[in-house]
């Protein structure tokens, strides 16, 4: 029987997303005992409250790389009775492997963009808190392949479609016309491609050209 008062610690550096998640979880009968936006804050909250489960984002301040999942691994080692549900936009295969090193009981790793309903998320929380597992198929795929995955494969179908048209020399305006979407929508897809390819804005680099070159190289490999 599902415990209606699941005790949750929530670690998410986006205040808007964090507040929204608190509302949703409380509405679903969960007791959010603490929230934080940093990895040290997560460790302190878990030590103080000993929740049933901790919801952890992978990338948090100060470097926004892997602070969250590092903290999750530490909690797993020091407080094994606390379930860990990593909830992120990113798959960090190496750290996910460490998180699961002692077995998958009480561990989850879900991708934000692939959770369609609140009920799915809450069900996963309960499953993890009760010693079960909740792993997104995408996470499983990357773990099975040791994290060695083409960056092109990380794109959504629409992002790939936009990139293919970029490779053909189309401007954002032209891509928008061909796909019958707004130019602003195309800009968002292009920005997502840059992020997934690790192309950061600089004065000297042409990210558009680099994205196309990456696409051509990895699509043929």
The model's pLDDT over 21-34, given as tens digits with 9 standing for 90+, comes to: 999 999 999 999 99
Verify that 110 and 158 share a domain, yes or no: no
State yes or no: pLDDT of 199 exceeds 90.
no
End-to-end CA distance of the chain: 50
pTM attached to this predicted model:
0.64
Domain that holds residue 180: 151-220
Angle between helices 15-27 and 118-129 (to 10 degrees): 80
State yes or no: pLDDT of 143 exceeds 80.
no
State yes or no: pLDDT of 186 exceeds 70.
yes
Give the CATH number for residue 45.
3.40.50.2300
Output the CA torsion sign for 208, 212, 213, 214: positive
Res 97: pLDDT: 81
Give the CATH number for residue 212.
1.10.10.10
């Amino acid at each position: 029987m599902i415990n209606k008062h699941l005790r949750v610690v929530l670690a998410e550096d986006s205040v808007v997303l964090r507040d929204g998640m608190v509302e949703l979880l409380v509405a679903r009968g969960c007791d959010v005992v603490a929230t934080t936006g940093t990895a040290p804050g997560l460790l302190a909250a878990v030590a103080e409250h000993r929740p049933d489960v901790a919801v952890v984002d992978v990338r948090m301040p100060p470097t926004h790389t892997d602070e969250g999942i590092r903290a999750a691994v530490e909690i797993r080692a020091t407080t094994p009775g606390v379930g860990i549900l990593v909830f992120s936009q990113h798959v960090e295969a190496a750290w996910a492997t460490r998180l699961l090193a002692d077995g998958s009981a009480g561990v989850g790793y879900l991708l934000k963009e692939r959770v369609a309903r609140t009920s799915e998320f809450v069900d996963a929380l309960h499953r993890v808190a009760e010693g079960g597992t909740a792993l997104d198929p995408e996470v499983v795929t990357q773990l099975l392949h040791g994290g060695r995955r083409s960056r092109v494969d990380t794109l959504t179908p629409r992002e790939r479609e936009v990139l293919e048209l970029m490779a053909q020399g189309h401007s954002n305006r032209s891509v928008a016309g061909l796909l019958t979407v707004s130019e602003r929508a195309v800009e968002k897809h292009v920005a997502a491609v840059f992020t997934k390819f690790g192309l950061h804005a600089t004065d000297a680099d042409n990210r558009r050209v680099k994205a196309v070159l990456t696409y051509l190289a990895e699509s043929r490999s």
